[in-house]
Amino acid sequence: MARKKIDQNKVNEERKENKAKAFSTDNKKIVKYSLIGLLAISLSAGAISLALKNDNKDRGKVTIESAKETKKETVKETNLEVSKELEKEINKEIEEEIKKIENQGLSKEDQEKEIEKAKENILLSVSKKEKLDKNSLKNIVNKKVSKRVESSSKLDKNVKTKAKEEIKEIEKKESSTDKHKDTSSNKKTETKEEKKSDTNNNNKAKQNKEVSYKYEDKETTIPYKTIRKHNIPNAKTRVKQKGVNGKTINTYKITLEDGKEVSRNISDTKTIKSQDEIIETYVKIQDKKVKIREVEDKSKPVYRIIGKERWFVHNDLTGEKKYFYSAGEAEDYFINNGILGNWGTAESEKIKTNEILGYETKTENVVVQEEKWAWQ
C-alpha cells in the first residue's frame, strides 16, 4: 500500500473521535457496574495496560507496553495507513480465536500464550496476503488500542462526579430496602447458621466413623406355567416338558458405619427365566369311515355251461319220461316197446364245465378311512 503523510489536524480529529467513543462506552460501564470501575479506569496508562492483559476480550488483540512508548511510536506508525476494513478483518479473526481458546478450559497463563500465538499467526498471514510488514502492521493495531487507553484515562471530572452521585443514590435505595429485610433476614440467617453448624458437626462425625461395604443377594422365585391344549376327563396324558421355576437375584450394596447398616441399595439384578410345563393328551384326530359296496364272493364261482341236444319218450300209462341223445334212439324205443304216449325233441341238457367265468356278488362294509390318534 502507498505511504502518505498524514495531516496533524486529521490525527487530532481521529483522537477526539476515539476519545468520544471511549468516553461513551466506558461511562456506561462505570455507571452500570461499580465505582471500582471508575477508579480503575482513572489509573495510569501503565496500570491500565496490565488490567487489559487480564481482560479476556481485549487480550490477544494487542499487547500494550505503556502509554508513553506508544506516544513515541505514533509518528513512525502514522506513516503507514491501514484501511478500516483490514483492521476490522484482523480484529474479527483475533476475536474468533479468543473465543475458541476460552472454550478450551485452559488456565489464564495458557490462554494468554495460546492467544498470543494465534495473534502472531493471523498478523503473519495478513502481512503475506496484503504484502505488508508484520511488525508495522502489529504496531498500527496496537496504536489503536493505546489511543483508546489514553482517551479513557482522561475522562472529564464532571462526568466522574455525576457518576459518583448516581451510584450513591442507588446505594441509598438499596440500603433502605435492606433495612426492612434485616429483621426477618437475621432470624433466617440464625436458623441457617444453626443448620450449617449441625450439618458440619454431622459431617465431622461421619468423617470420624469407619465406613465399609458388603454385598448381599436376595432371590425371588418366578413360578412356571402349565400349558395344556386339551382338558378331557379320563384321557391319557403325559408330560412332554417339565416345568422349572425361574428366579430374580437382586444384589444389594450395604453401607456400614462402625459395623451398623445405614443404607441398602440394589447394585445389580439378574433374571433367570422360568420353563413352562407342557402336558400332552392322547386324542382321536380322525374318525373311522365305512362304505357299503358289492364285492365278488370267492366261495361262489360261476362256471361255463354248454347245451346238449336230446329227445324224450313219454309213456302215458306209467307217466315215465325218458330222454335220448338222438332222434333215432327215441323212435326205436317208442316203437319196439309199444309205448302208449308220444316222443319228440326235448330241452337241451345243461352241462357245467370246469371253466370259471367269474364269481357271484355280495354286499359288505368296506373301511375307506382308518381311525387315527395322536399326542397333543
Residues 324 and 344 sit within 8 Å (Cβ to Cβ): no
Same domain as 361, residue 244: no
Q: Indicate the average pLDDT of the chain.
A: 74
> 178's torsion region: left (phi>0), alpha (psi -120 to 50) or beta?
alpha
What is residue 192's three-state secondary structure?
A: helix
- List Cβ neighbours of 258 (8 Å cut-off, separation of 6 or more): 209, 210
- pLDDT tier at 331, thresholds 50, 70, 90: very high
- Residue 366 covered by a domain: yes
- Residue 365 covered by a domain: yes
Look at residues 279, 312, 337 and tell me which one is the last residue of a structural domain: 279
Identify the domain containing residue 249 by its residue range.
211-279
Residues 217 and 267 sit within 8 Å (Cβ to Cβ): no
Q: Report helix, strand and coil shares of the chain as percent, to nearest 5.
A: 45, 35, 20
Same domain as 141, residue 59: yes
- Please state, in angstroms and rounded to a whole number, the distance separating the CA atoms of residues 44 and 41: 8
In this prediction, residues 158-181 reach a mean pLDDT of 60
Which amino acid is present at 238?
R
Q: Say which range, 43-52, 155-164, 217-226, 301-310, has the weakest mean pLDDT.
A: 43-52
User: Number of structural domains, the chain?
Assistant: 3
The length of the chain, given as a count of residues: 376
- Residue 198 covered by a domain: no
Which amino acid is present at 88?
K
Q: What is the pLDDT of residues 334-355, one digit of tens each?
A: 999 989 999 999 999 999 899 9
The pTM for the full model equals 0.30
Look at residues 155, 171, 188 and tell me which one is the last residue of a structural domain: 155
Same domain as 299, residue 269: no
Same domain as 143, residue 51: yes
Same domain as 113, residue 35: yes
- Residue 267 covered by a domain: yes
In this prediction, residues 64-87 reach a mean pLDDT of 51
Which CA distances in Å does 131 have to 84, 124, 226, 292? 17, 10, 90, 118
- Please state, in angstroms and rounded to a whole number, the distance separating the CA atoms of residues 66 and 50: 9
Q: What is the pLDDT of residues 96-120, one digit of tens each?
A: 888 888 788 777 788 888 888 888 8
Instruction: Tell me the CATH number at 223.
Output: 2.20.230.10
Same domain as 351, residue 244: no
Same domain as 273, residue 303: no
- Please state, in angstroms and rounded to a whole number, the distance separating the CA atoms of residues 106 and 118: 15
Q: What is the pLDDT of residues 130-168, one digit of tens each?
A: 777 666 666 655 544 444 334 434 444 554 565 567 667
- List Cβ neighbours of 349 (8 Å cut-off, separation of 6 or more): 307, 308, 310, 323
The tally of CA atoms less than 13 A away on the side-chain side of residue 359 is 9
pLDDT at 80: 43
- Residue 81 covered by a domain: yes
